[in-house]
Amino acid sequence: MSRPLYIEGGRVVDPSQDIDDLAAVLVVDGRIEAVGADISKPDDAETLDATGLTISPGLIDVHVHLREPGGEHKEDIATGSKAAIAGGFTTIWAMPNTDPPIDDPAAVGYVRAAGRAVRASRVMPIGAASIGQQGEKMTEIGELVHAGAVAVSDDGHPVRNSGLMRRLLEYTQTFDIPVLQHAEDPGLTHGGVMNEGRVATELGLRGIPNAAEAAMVARDVLLSELTGGHLHVCHVSARQSVDHLRWAKDRGLAVTSEVTPHHLILTEELVRGYNTQAKVNPPLRLEEDVVAVREALVEGVIDVIATDHAPHHYDEKEREFDDAPFGINGLETAFGLCMQALVDPGYMTLSGLIDRMSCGPARIMGLPTGSLRRGAPADIVLYAPEEKWIVDPARFHSRSRNTPLAGRELTGRIQTTIVGGEIRFVAEGDA
């Protein structure tokens, strides 16, 4: 067993225990032993000086694309999980839309094992909901869960067939896992490359209307009501989707949802000039949508923030807008962008943000992390919440650099990331 770790001098923000105070944190055997202002430091403990920093439970991202297998030129499990700890994420959930998709137990086991071997962020595989993500036949969900899958999803594509979605929401209840739905009616998005609206009209680009998402969300919450299954709606972007989610929350349905950092602050205007870095699905929408998803997140109608980290090789983005792939590289800018979108302007407290990025995901997904309570795995992040920094994609730990935020100033910098009591990331240029 390693030496105990004693983190002193910092401000502890842990919404799961309602703590926001100067305090020390003691980690023993990879778990939280104590948090408090007056705990004593064991003689054999290693000390970590957190003066001027804030200490919170490690961030959890339930939606990332690690691209392995099949897309290793964009990212792999090693580079992706290193990008995660650099962004303060101690747990990431890996989407199964790889090539081939993660639709059998061996593939799930591979992602788990490869993730463990990197010793960066915890990597939890999501299994495909349908074989080959074809949207036709359900995968062996029990086997996937047995191999380590924490959820099922056909992300990248929606589960279009209502009958299949119903069966998924029913069958997954045996294993107590959620169905993660990329809500999109393909009949309404066919060929669309950006938000349908004025900018698309001016640029002559095919649009994806809000209704493409909201219609699917409406169907799915009704199916959750019908079945009682846990529906988790991925990357909510449209204000009309929020109405359906609120309806579900009001009825106490087993419906949760996430919003990405980019949908909380960026709008379709960023696409002007055919900026492929701003090409993402669901697309960046209007200010009124940004306001709606932000308010929903503050209110708790949307439960958590997830990055939808979607790395792409620069060649793939350096082309005609129609031909460039969707996606934003999100792990290393998520915290800073959320600080800027939510905490700086006063929509949320820092504690509120930590809830949405750490405690909340743990709560809705039933994870033991996302808290500094005694006995919890010692997944901890130390950061300077007010420090300004400029996004330089060349310094990303991710293999890809695709971000519309290059050169933008963000607030809040990750300093140290601890997973299971082990210090796995320390920001460069600091002792």
Partner 1 sequence: MSEKRKESGLGKDLVGLENVSGETIQAILDTAEPFKEISERAIKKVPVLRGKTIVNLFFEPSTRTRISFEFAEKRLGADTVNVAASGSSVVKGETLVDTARNLEAMRIDMVVIRHGSSGAAQFLADRIPSNVINGGDGQHEHPTQALLDMLTLRDSFGRIEGLKVCIVGDIVHSRVARSNIYGLQKSGAEVAVCGPRSLIPTRIEEMGVQVFTHIEDAIQWADSLNVLRLQLERMNAGFIPSLREYNRVYGVTQERLDKAPREIVVLHPGPMNRGVEIDSTVADGPQSVILSQVTNGVAVRMAVLYLLAGGAPERAEEAKKGEE
The one-letter code for the residue type at 46 is E
Stretch that binds partner 1, among 1-9, 199-207, 354-362, 365-373 (CB under 8 A): 199-207
With respect to partner 1, which residue has the nearer C-beta, 158 or 207?
A: 207
Is 196 a binder of partner 1 (CB under 8 A)?
A: yes
236, 257 in Cβ contact below 8 A? yes
180, 153 in Cβ contact below 8 A? yes
User: Cβ 278 to partner 1, closest distance in Å?
Assistant: 12
Residue from 99, 320, 428, 430 that binds partner 1 (CB under 8 A)? 320
Specify the length of the chain in residues. 431
- Which ranges of 278-369 would DSSP assign to H, the alpha helix? 287-299, 314-317, 334-338, 350-354, 360-365
H or E element at residue 246? helix 239-250
Describe the chain by its helix, strand, coil percentages, rounded to 5. 35, 25, 45
Counting residues that bind partner 1 (by CB under 8 A) gives 21
Is 197 a binder of partner 1 (CB under 8 A)?
A: yes
User: Cβ 249 to partner 1, closest distance in Å?
Assistant: 30
User: Cβ 280 to partner 1, closest distance in Å?
Assistant: 16
With respect to partner 1, which residue has the nearer C-beta, 40 or 201?
A: 201
User: Cβ 282 to partner 1, closest distance in Å?
Assistant: 16
Residue from 3, 137, 146, 198 that binds partner 1 (CB under 8 A)? 198
- Which ranges of 17-155 would DSSP assign to H, the alpha helix? 77-86, 105-118, 141-146
CA dihedral 363, 369, 373, 374 (to 10 degrees): 140
Residue from 322, 368, 388, 392 that binds partner 1 (CB under 8 A)? 322
Is 258 a binder of partner 1 (CB under 8 A)?
A: no
With respect to partner 1, which residue has the nearer C-beta, 203 or 406?
A: 203
* x-or-dash string of contact with partner 1, 264-303, rule CB under 8 A: ---------xx-----------------------------
Active-site hit among 61, 154, 308, 355:
308
Calpha distance 83→385 (Å, rounded): 19
Beta strands in 141-296 (DSSP E): 152-153, 179-181, 194-195, 207-208, 231-233, 255-259
Active site residue 155: no
- Pairing between strand 46-49 and 152-153? unpaired
Stretch that binds partner 1, among 20-28, 190-198, 300-308, 363-371 (CB under 8 A): 190-198
* x-or-dash string of contact with partner 1, 203-222, rule CB under 8 A: xxxxx-x-------------
Is 40 a binder of partner 1 (CB under 8 A)?
A: no
Backbone angles phi, psi at 274, to 5 degrees: 55, 50
245, 233 in Cβ contact below 8 A? yes
Token readout for 189 is: 């998005």
User: Cβ 209 to partner 1, closest distance in Å?
Assistant: 7
With respect to partner 1, which residue has the nearer C-beta, 197 or 360?
A: 197
Is 407 a binder of partner 1 (CB under 8 A)?
A: no
Is 137 a binder of partner 1 (CB under 8 A)?
A: no
Q: Which residues pair with 152 in a beta bridge?
A: 127, 179
Residue from 319, 374, 388, 395 that binds partner 1 (CB under 8 A)? 319
Is 200 a binder of partner 1 (CB under 8 A)?
A: yes
| Of 372, 410, 378, 375, the residue nearest 392 (C-alpha) | 410
Residues noted as catalytic = 308
Q: Report the interface residues with partner 1, using CB under 8 A.
A: 196-198, 200-207, 209, 273-274, 315, 318-323
